Chains A and B, each alone.
Chain A
Amino acid sequence: MRKCYNYRRAAARSTHLNKILIANRGEIAVRIIRTCREMGLATVAVYSECDRNALHVRLADEAYAIGPDQASESYLRIDKLIDVGRASGASGLHPGYGFLAENADFAEACSIAGLTFIGPSAAAMRAMGSKTTARDIAVAAGVPLVPGGHTPEDIGYPLLVKAVAGGGGKGMRVVRAPAGLDSAVALASSEARSSFNDDRVYFERLLERPRHIEVQLLGDLHGTIVPFVERECSIQRRHQKLIEETPSPSVTPALRERLMAAAAAIGRKTGYTSAGTIEFLVDATGEFFFLEMNTRLQVEHPITEAVTGIDFVRAQIEIARGARLADMADLKVGATTGTTTGTTYVVPTFRSANGHAIEVRVYAENPDEGFLPSPGRITHLRPPSGPGIRDDSGVFEGWTVPTAYDPLVSKVVAWAPDRPGAIARMDRALSEYDLRGINTTIAFCRDLVRSQAFADAAFDTTYVDRLLEDNGRKGEQSDGLDEVAAMAAAMWAGREAGLKAGTTNGALPAESLWARRARLDALR
């Protein structure tokens, strides 16, 4: 017999956490607002100058300006965010991901101002947010580590330069030989300073062709840690994730048990609360190494939502209110506890996921120009929909993607009962996705999803970078549709000629354009 947890009743009972300030922008701010609305909570948005008309501002109940475009003068300003918290009377703050989400000083400032920070404790963030302390904790939890240290001599080449406070591939560079060290350290620390306001870096051995596998955790305020089925995030370009899926096609049930146990052990060691993720590198033999912990909600959390039915933002809010994970009906937490590595943890009964989910991140970047950012106005937008598809987007037709922030515009999630079904759905969804005016990674990711290598799950974290080095994508070969393209281009040219002659507004049916064009030609 399990007690059902009634969120609506809980929300109505609680005078605490009834208005939430969302200290973020873009798709994640929209995603958090959606859950708040479902829970009957008021939402407070913040915006920089260029975000005045942004979707998160349009959807929120209240909105406050916090300064100019530059994040350092707006979304990263702790003082301004706290002021908005006071002015709006918000009782809780959700930081999203990026910006101040993993800033322990911010979490503390929120507590002092009487705003409940919807995330882990400042102490856990400090411990796990510093990559070096996090490694010590992993060792203490009995979890193996990638060899690393503070000098390149400790490691040998090839190595990785990583920001101590880093995340999301920022502040990270690969160095293959000593000659490249100085420039890599300079770039990594400068990027780390502008992104995280902390320019310290350290070094880590570069594993050859590992897979990136991560385990989502939820921890409540009563000492329960729940690990979830792993996410496979090996499809990355320069450490920026492009495609994630769950469960991993390469993880055996035995390895899954070990990964979940190791993640739970690390979580328990820090008394972790709220949502967090333990990242591992897994080599070809199935050995795994602790990489780092992200002390926040992750970009790719929707795929875990798809295979578990859990709303992780709602779980975070409930946890912040003091709810017990065991009381949350949709968590289906069983009585099973494990004692691997000497700690206890609760194992959810759905440890075999329900179906398979894949996420494609759509970035405003141009794959044909080395993935240079491609900000600008979205002239056409028809997002994908239909069975098994979820599109978490922060944009709309007519919106101008600003230059000042992360280029993520939307996340497409495809769910199906099995992996081939999820691949087919993602392929179908990306073919429907019509986003014009800016360059995006949609077509590039669709090629990846349709590839034999993806079907065979024959990839590792270096796969995309090697692919790009090998062929630079598509090349010059003709695929038989040149003639269709030429025909279409001729029709466009004809229509443009009609426009020039002032005979049409461009929206008239084709036959009248062509009739007019023919008449014009005949008159000459």
Chain B
Amino acid sequence: MNVDITVNGRPLKVAIEPADGPGKLTVTIKGKTRVVDASWVDADTLSLVDAGVAREIRFHAREEAGAVGVEIDGTLYETIASNRRTGRTGARGAVGAMGAMGASASTGAVSVKAPMPGRIVRVLVGVGDRVSARQPVVVVEAMKMENELRSPRDGVVTHVLVAPGAAVESSAVLIVVGP
């Protein structure tokens, strides 16, 4: 099986085939082939023995198709897989990763989303207000702390979708800022 993997945005091609012996797999990355011993401890935990080096791999489920967080010795690698044979892709992952802040856009309407479930404490802007990038626009309380959410861009507020006191779910759109 051939899979294209991006690790923290860096593309790598991986080929994996079963090898002789229980749990043994032949892995080829960057032209180097090796035989590793992989054993699933549970649905999200892999014990990987590679030339005698034993590692516990902790997977962190992600919402985006093909995406999974890979934790190795405390370091988290964000990965996205696309299977070359089936063409199944997790391209949405790259967008999702930036989702909460609506960060990349500097043109077009962008939304300020709730990064976690919480309660609206204050709305600092109204429709038609001109705002600058990083200006606080709404205050959300979650877990006893008030968090100021900022406008991702310069522009004009086109929608205010919440009022103080409202309970909001994660990723709920709170405010939209247009050009």
Contacts and interface: CB of A to CB of B under 8 A. Distances in A.
Interface of A: 71, 170, 183, 187, 190-191, 194-195, 364, 369, 372-375, 379-380, 403-407, 430-431, 434, 436, 442-443, 446-447, 474, 476, 478-479, 481-495, 497, 506-511, 513-515, 517-518, 521, 524
B81 A488 contact: no
B143 A404 contact: yes
A478 B10 contact: yes
Interface residues of B, number: 72
B116 A494 contact: no
Interface of B: 1, 3, 5, 7-10, 12, 14, 16-18, 21-25, 27, 29-30, 36, 38-40, 42-46, 48, 50, 55-61, 66, 68, 70-77, 79-81, 83, 85-86, 88, 100, 115-118, 121-122, 136, 139, 141-148
A518 B79 contact: no
Given A488-B59, A511-B22, A514-B25, 14 more contacts: A183-B136, A187-B148, A190-B122, A194-B121, A373-B147, A375-B116, A403-B143, A482-B8, A486-B5, A487-B27, A489-B70, A489-B80, A493-B3, A511-B21
A122 B163 CA distance: 39
Given A506-B43, A515-B18, A518-B18, A373 B143 contact: yes
B120 to A, nearest CB: 12
A190 B146 contact: yes
A482 B77 contact: yes
| Interface hub of B42, B77, B136 (most chain A Cβ within 10 A) | B77
| Interface hub of B9, B38, B71, B72 (most chain A Cβ within 10 A) | B38
Contacts, number: 194
B5 A490 contact: yes
A488 B43 contact: no
In the A-B complex, list the 6 residue pairs whose CB atoms are closest, starting with the nearest: A489-B79, A493-B81, A485-B77, A373-B143, A490-B14, A514-B18
Contacts of A497: 1, 83, 86, 88
A491 B16 contact: yes
Contacts of A442: 74
Contacts of A486: 5, 7, 12, 14, 29, 79
Contacts of A521: 1, 85
Contacts of A446: 74
Nearest to A372: B115
Contacts of A476: 8-9
B40 A507 contact: yes
Nearest to B146: A191
A320 B8 CA distance: 56
A190 B147 CA distance: 12
A494 B16 contact: yes
Contact of B72 (A191, A488, A495, A508): A488
A169 B58 CA distance: 33
A514 B38 CA distance: 10
Nearest to B68: A492
